[in-house]
């Protein structure tokens, strides 16, 4: 494809994504479906350029003011994720001169807001959360995330999968904490590889793997994944249960549960029962009250722990939306708790960086439910063969940060129901 044509496509894609009226990944996927003739390298350049703009939107918009022509074209040129030679072939002489001048500007001399690239409310909130670690956190969330895999221990051993990936030319490193994890740089086409087709591995962030390990279900138990979504944690729980017992995957979205079906087929699990529920007080929930050994509540949240993967969320979320989310989180946790039998374990988790969605919800639940005893996360994780579990906790809770742990931002609190 001619360089100018590809830059035109990047301009068109950015124009759609920057409306911020839909998740960026959905807009990018729909765009690629309309342009099926694009090769893998072209898709990579378009997608990564788009995400680079979302990560650095304030800074790039400021730098782009000095140019001429369509704003989105200038943003694409500034954030271009591909060959410099290719980009020069797409730009005219005046554009090349402008780009060189802008790229010579010392970013460190820009105002703070243009360096952290966050809306004011979120920058203030994160400074309160991490204090002196604010700038390391900013640097971490501006980087693209690694690709983490979870080895399906029902079918394969981690070292065998690592060797198989190496034979396919993919260097996979062992994750520092999860006993199941492998980490890959870049974005290889995993779907075409035999270990993936066989169900030996699933794509899953190491932090998400740790949530399943904190719940620690045993063989033959009754377990509920209360907000299962597309089932990444469901599959990890099923493997921990060694394909025994009953594992219910509940979600209000039938569409998300549909995404579980092909993954479930690959996994070899037969103990999983996906079920769409109308709401957290659904009749199915009432029938199981007090009967379940372990319940995982991976609650709907702001998703701000996934900014490395979903940088548009910082522009699409708001304090009001999070406040509304808090009420929903507390209701869902209280409803899910009714399922837990005496002696059973309950885990509340989010992929948020904000204590209002995390510790505040856990503290309120504990105060309202004296029959649930808080369970310290560090010994529970260590018992599940998690390496260096003490590094992963804040007080009694699991608390993961992109800059500290190289995972998405996760929180989890655990309780045991008193007998």
How many C-beta neighbours within 10 Å does residue 234 have? 31
Going by the DSSP 8-state scheme, the letter that residue 389 receives in this structure is G
CA 277 to the chain's CA centroid: 23
CB neighbour class for 97 (10 Å; exposed up to 12, middle 13-18, buried from 19): exposed
The tokens of 328 are what? 């929903």
3-class SS of residue 375: strand
The tokens of 116 are what? 């952290």
How many C-beta neighbours within 10 Å does residue 85 have? 8
Residue found under tokens 């894609």: 13
How many C-beta neighbours within 10 Å does residue 410 have? 28
* Of 18, 269, 351, 413, catalytic: 351
Q: CB-based contacts of 242: which residues, under 8 Å, 6+ apart?
A: 154, 219
CA dihedral 224, 225, 230, 236 (to 10 degrees): -90
Q: Give catalytic status of residue 351 as yes or no.
A: yes
CA atoms within 13 A on the CB side of 99: 19
From edge to edge, which strands make up the β-sheet containing 172-174? 172-174, 181-184, 147-151, 201-203
Identify which of 69, 63, 77, 97 has the alpha carbon closest to the alpha carbon of residue 14. 77
Residue ranges of alpha helices (H) inside 80-203 are 84-90, 93-103, 112-116, 120-130, 134-141, 158-167, 194-197
Identify which of 79, 39, 44 has the alpha carbon closest to the alpha carbon of residue 63. 79
Residue ranges of alpha helices (H) inside 38-91 are 40-55, 57-64, 71-79, 84-90
Residue pair 397/377 in contact by the 8 Å Cβ criterion: yes
Catalytic positions are 351
């Amino acid at each position: 494809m001619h360089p100018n044509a590809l830059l035109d496509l990047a301009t068109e894609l950015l124009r759609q994504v920057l409306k911020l009226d839909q998740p960026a990944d959905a807009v990018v996927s729909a765009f690629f479906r309309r342009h099926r003739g694009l090769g893998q390298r072209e898709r990579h350049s378009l997608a990564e350029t788009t995400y680079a703009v979302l990560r650095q939107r304030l800074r790039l918009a400021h730098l782009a003011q000095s140019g001429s022509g369509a704003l989105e074209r200038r943003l694409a040129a500034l954030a271009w994720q591909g060959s410099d030679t290719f980009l020069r072939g797409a730009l005219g002489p005046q554009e090349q001169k402008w780009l060189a001048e802008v790229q010579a500007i010392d970013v460190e001399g820009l105002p703070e807001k243009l360096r952290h690239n966050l809306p004011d409310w979120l920058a203030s909130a994160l400074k309160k959360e991490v204090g002196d670690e604010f700038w390391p956190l900013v640097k971490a969330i501006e980087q693209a995330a690694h690709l983490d895999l979870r080895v399906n221990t029902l079918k394969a051993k981690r070292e065998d999968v690592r060797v198989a990936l190496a034979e396919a030319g993919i260097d996979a490193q062992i994750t520092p904490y999860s006993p199941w994890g492998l980490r890959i740089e870049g974005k290889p086409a995993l779907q075409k590889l035999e270990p993936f087709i066989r169900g030996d591995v699933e794509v899953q962030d190491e932090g998400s793997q740790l949530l399943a390990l904190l719940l620690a279900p045993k063989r033959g138990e009754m377990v509920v994944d209360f907000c299962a979504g597309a089932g990444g944690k469901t599959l990890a729980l099923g493997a921990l249960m060694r394909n025994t017992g009953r594992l219910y995957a509940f979600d209000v979205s039938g569409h998300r549960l549909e995404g579980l079906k092909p993954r479930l087929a690959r996994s070899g699990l037969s103990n999983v029962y996906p079920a769409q529920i109308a709401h957290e007080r659904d009749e199915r929930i009432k029938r199981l009250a007090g009967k379940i050994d372990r319940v995982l509540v991976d609650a709907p949240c702001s998703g701000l722990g996934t900014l490395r993967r979903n940088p548009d969320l910082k522009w699409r979320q708001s304090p009001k939306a999070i406040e509304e989310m808090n009420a929903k989180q507390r209701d869902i946790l209280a409803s899910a708790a009714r399922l837990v039998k005496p002696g059973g374990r309950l885990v509340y988790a989010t992929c948020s960086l904000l204590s209002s969605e995390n510790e505040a919800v856990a503290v309120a639940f504990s105060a309202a439910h004296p029959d649930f005893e808080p369970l310290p996360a560090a010994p529970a994780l260590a018992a599940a063969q998690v390496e260096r579990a003490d590094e992963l906790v804040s007080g009694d809770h699991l608390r993961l940060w992109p800059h500290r742990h190289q995972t998405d931002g996760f929180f989890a609190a655990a309780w045991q129901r008193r007998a």
